[in-house]
A and B are shown apart, each in its own frame.
Chain A
């Protein structure tokens, strides 16, 4: 093995001495320095290296926000230190020659057979071609399956690899090392805040990076769930948690709160004759305070328990739907703004967040549609039922009040009328 290595070095040295080294070295060095200088300092994303002439485009080296939407791997691959990379390539040359020699030796039996018997050689070649075709067909099928299965992961991995290459370039590593590192196992992920960590809570971290309130993050977690990205044993994993019927639960919670607040307001109005501002706020929705007259009307209708409960339920439902819509709209806006303003997110991560926003909108619409269905179909039936019940009550009351007595008419002279005779 050492002898083979010595032979490789000797042949390489001989060839190097035969080449016009000064001319090539000067051109390459000039180009290398230009690339390194400009890319290493001017733009870490490397977007401008593809033009060549625009390497010194004058883009501010500290400005990362202007070009954050155009990050890609291509730029980063050219942003590596070329001298480091070529040094490493020379270090790998002995291994390459060794592999070449191995290949030549592997083909030696076939060469001998062809010299000895051309006919057998043709047969062997034909047979070898058939075997190769069959094996290639199996490989193709396998690759198709692998590509299909790896597509989703590659989309997510792609962004991460891009960020990894960017980090490697910024760290001054060679392209081979960077490719080895980034195409190998995933050891850490970049968080929306810009740091690296073993896992990323996409929704929560994005909102937190934008500086939103804890209430908003809690609301997002309860309504949107979470997308968790993990770097585990070199693998990049994504876990999607989406709460089931969270929107309906939220609506029901709002409805119960509105119902309780309305009852408390009615009680307060009935007891004190006034409603405090705090109580009035509790039964109001953003942008639409509940009119005091509505509370007065409810107090007046309290004696009619059937109608009172029906109207109170309708009012609670309306308040809950309005409040839920308002919350979802607010959350949607905050999350969209947080995503847009964050340069650390990959395209796939943005897509995942956008999907969650769409799901939020869809869930809200479904809840509203369900309530609409209730209002259009169930509520009229209930109203009709209550109406009929009230009508029956009224009929019973009217009939009852008209019910006659069996008492005989009174006469002034016991059984006789003033005329003197009885009937």
Chain B
């Protein structure tokens, strides 16, 4: 491989830029450097007459131009094409794709996005080749050094987006709604009225929570609420204990996750376990709980998150519960107060879950947009920079300022070629920040807490990092260049 960039869009646009540059250099524009150099030589010759040492500047200008033309525009020099080398689409590759054993698309040629007119190998100027390789490989090398997973940056973002978007099948959704109305809400009300549910974790139907044990005391006919029978048990009259009903739903949710496949063919169940660290039981429970919240009414959020936010929003949660209880008591005495407290619980504490879920989804979407379209954006800038390089070269034929435009240009190329470095830094930073202690108690609530917290850190830092990192590195590059340039001018003076 001649050139390695991080992503596939960068590889494609890099090759397209090189091909366009070769076209421009080989066009009739190639005569323009000779004309410019001849004119400026005549001007310098006229200025050198009668001035001591005037011919030194003329010789220096001519020699510099000749070197620049041989290095960066060989077509403008007789026999200069012999100094160049050709580069094909298959020689510009994505580093991440090369590291993926199952990747089918690795080089720019594999993407089928290179137009047929530009598919022939492009002649590359020897100087540009050297500089561009240095510009692309240096940030990549740094990135690999900084982040061992530089070839798989932001690997958890997309699975997280998929997990948040997973919709359970129609039968499971209907059955969850039925179970929520027939089993969960009545049992929850009993717990609240019996003063057995003190924390939000107690009111979860998962694990060994008291509510789960209370569920075992109830039995219902599945789908009696919705009128659509999806589940049939072995008992007479299809009477099913509520905890058994819940277990069946959990298994169905896990089964559905196992049926869903990623583009590469990996089951979601396995993918989420690998990338997000969620056990299959936890995945099923989280999806189940999310549907329960939808079925129970507007805004029934996850309890684990309420614990996370207890210090921040505890007052508002309690306030909502008390408000709901007050409304219920006004409407229907003590029993009404029970239902009111239940409603307040859903509006308050459990509502936190819904809001956090919405917030996480929004953050993940923003991060996904930046990660997804960032390579396209940087690749397009590279395409313009590299493809229109001959026009930068024309500035280099002006006497007295021949190297400065080139220096500016290559600093810009260095900036746009630093994507691997940015991605590696942001990914590393987000991964470090989102690392959470494992859910030692093994409850769904703790696992959910880990998932939400890690996801929020990951997504928010990714989004912020991708926006901030180019600004910071750009400031560094261009400030350093200006300082060096000032030193150069001062030395010359």
**What is the interface of chain A, defined by CB distance below 8 A to chain B?**
388-389, 391-392, 395-396, 399-400, 402-404, 406, 408-411, 413-423
Besides A388-B227, A406-B261, A416-B8, 14 more A-B contacts (Cβ < 8 Å) are A395-B174, A396-B226, A402-B167, A402-B170, A402-B173, A415-B263, A415-B264, A416-B100, A416-B104, A418-B376, A420-B96, A421-B99, A421-B100, A423-B263
Interface bin, chain B: 35 or more
Q: Does B354 contact A (CB under 8 A)?
A: no
- Cβ of B8 and Cβ of A420 under 8 Å apart? yes
Q: Given A399-B174, A416-B97, A423-B264 in contact, is the A409-B151 Cβ separation under 8 Å?
A: no
Cross-interface CB contact of A414 among B104, B155, B228, cutoff 8 Å: B104
In angstroms, how far is the closest chain A Cβ from the Cβ of B179?
A: 14
C-alpha gap A359/B96 in the complex (Å): 98
Contact A406 B275 (CB under 8 A): no
- The answer to whether residues A409 and B227 also contact, given A400-B170, A420-B8 and a CB cut-off of 8 A, is no
Closest to B159 in A: A423
- Measured between alpha carbons, how far is A421 from B102 in the docked complex, in Å? 9
Kindly list chain B residues whose C-beta atoms are within 8 Å of the C-beta of A391.
227
> In whole angstroms, how far apart are the Cα atoms of A13 and B49 in the complex?
205
| Chain B residue at smallest Cβ distance from A392 | B227
- The residues of B that contact A416 with a CB separation of less than 8 Å are 8, 97, 100, 103-105, 263
Which of chain A's residues have a CB closer than 8 A to the CB of B166? 404
With known contacts A404-B167, A408-B261, A415-B263, A422–B103 Cβ distance under 8 A: yes
| A404 and B169 contacting across the interface, CB-CB below 8 Å | yes
Of all chain B residues, the one with the shortest Cβ separation from A417 is B158
Whether B104 pairs with A415 at a CB distance below 8 angstroms is yes
What are 23 of the A-B contact pairs (CB < 8 Å)? A391-B227, A395-B227, A399-B228, A404-B167, A406-B259, A406-B260, A408-B260, A408-B265, A409-B263, A417-B158, A418-B7, A418-B372, A418-B373, A419-B6, A419-B8, A419-B152, A419-B153, A420-B95, A420-B103, A421-B97, A421-B155, A422-B102, A423-B264
Do A413 and B226 touch (CB < 8 A)? no
Looking at the complex, which one of A400, A410, A419, A423 makes contact with B371 (CB distance below 8 Å)? A419
Question: For residue B266, which residues in chain A have a CB less than 8 angstroms away from its CB?
Answer: 423
Q: A392-B227, A392-B228, A403-B169 are in contact. Are A419 and B96 (CB under 8 A)?
A: yes
- What A residues does B8 contact at CB under 8 A? 413, 416, 418-420
Q: Which of A388, A404, A409, A418 has the most CB of B within 10 A?
A: A418
Chain B residues contacting A392 (CB-CB under 8 Å) are: 226-228
A248 CB to closest chain B CB (Å) equals: 36
Contact of A395 among B167, B228, B373 (CB under 8 A): B228
Closest chain A residue, CB of each to CB of B375: A418
Which residues on the A side are within 8 Å of B170 (C-beta)?
399-400, 402-403
Q: Quick check: is B94 within 8 A (CB to CB) of the other chain?
A: yes
Give the Cβ gap from B453 to chain A, nearest Cβ, in Å.
22
| Minimum distance in angstroms from A306 CB to a CB of chain B | 14
* Closest 3 pairs between A and B when the two form their complex, measured CB to CB: A420-B96, A392-B227, A404-B167
Asked, given contacts A404-B166, A406-B260, whether A422 binds B227 with beta carbons under 8 Å apart, the answer is no
For residue A409, which residues in chain B have a CB less than 8 angstroms away from its CB? 162, 262-263
Whether a CB of chain A sits under 8 angstroms from the CB of B111 is yes
Is the C-beta of B37 less than 8 angstroms from some C-beta in chain A?
no
Q: Are A423 and B155 in contact (CB under 8 A)?
A: yes
| Cα separation A418 to B376 with both chains bound (whole Å) | 8
